[in-house]
Amino acid sequence: MATKHFKAGEIIFKEGEHSSEAYFLVLGTVEISIEGPDGPHVLGRVGAGEIFGEMGLITDRPRSATARALEGTTVESIDEGIFEQSILRHPDRLRTYLTTLFDRLRSTDTLLQRELAQRVAVSKGDTLHAATSKARSHHRTNCAPPCRIRLRPANLAAGHREEAEVTELPFRIGRAFGDAGVALFAKNDLSITDEPPYHISRNHCEIDVDGDGVVLRDRGSTLGTIVNGAAIGIHEGAIQAVLKQGENAVILGSEDSRHRLLITLG
């Protein structure tokens, strides 16, 4: 497993290049961007302990984005041979790769299901009230002012000790599991205990940011999510809703769900 060092501003790999390596970020911060008609468009940032460029291990296509070090950065590069010989023998590192790949698959499946639902609706002459979500970045990014986000259960008063501040995006919410093996398939920052009949899915929704601002995005949940009275989900007209400044009322699941959150922006 080769260790590589990059100075601030150095390119780790460039969009359009051919590469068969993935990278584990040991130290530093990496920016992921794509080239647009008006210049580079930043998709997100990767922090220490995360992986990026993993598609290089499973496809021969050129890189779909550029990775650039934002500060002094150390990475470990992994090719197919090293993955088989080393990563598979280290459960902690293998878990990091698997949870990342599962998260990519969930996101792709959600967009696919939404696209199929739209096509069926159009074929029936139905009018959808919102467009399909924009592609997500897949990468963590700092959530700094003015993007300050606070989250608490709706039945708690402001300032209650259970109020939490979101510091990184995407911030993933889902159902809690006691089984660590099952938890491998549920990459969540907030895990909420639920009981049958479940309202919360293992991978339910996430707070993220895109060109429209801060959004709440459904992650392919069974019952969907209600944001400020509007339903989102793969069976609805949209899989994400833009959050407004101030308080946003969120229901995880159907209208009779007891799992309700207040998400405050600003």
Do 58 and 167 fall into the same domain?
no
Q: At 166, which amino acid appears?
A: V
Do 69 and 183 fall into the same domain?
no
Structural domain ending residue among the three candidates 55, 89, 123: 89
Strand-pair partners of 232 = 225
Residue 130: pLDDT over 50:
no
Question: What is the C-alpha separation between 29 and 71, in angstroms, rounded?
Answer: 6
In a domain, 110, yes or no: no
Domain count, the chain: 2
Question: What is the C-alpha separation between 190 and 174, in angstroms, rounded?
Answer: 7
Do 147 and 221 fall into the same domain?
yes
Residues 114 and 239 sit within 8 Å (Cβ to Cβ): yes
- Between 2-6, 82-86, 203-207, 244-248, the lowest mean confidence (pLDDT) is in 82-86
How do 168-169 and 205-210 pair as beta strands?
unpaired
Range of the domain at 253: 131-265
Structural domain ending residue among the three candidates 89, 120, 151: 89
Q: At 104, which amino acid appears?
A: R
In a domain, 95, yes or no: no
**188-206 confidence digits (pLDDT tens):** 888 898 989 999 998 899 9
In a domain, 228, yes or no: yes
CATH code of residue 244: 2.60.200.20
Q: Residue 127: pLDDT band by 50, 70, 90 thresholds?
A: very low
Mean pLDDT of all residues in the chain? Answer: 79
Do 147 and 84 fall into the same domain?
no
Do 55 and 149 fall into the same domain?
no
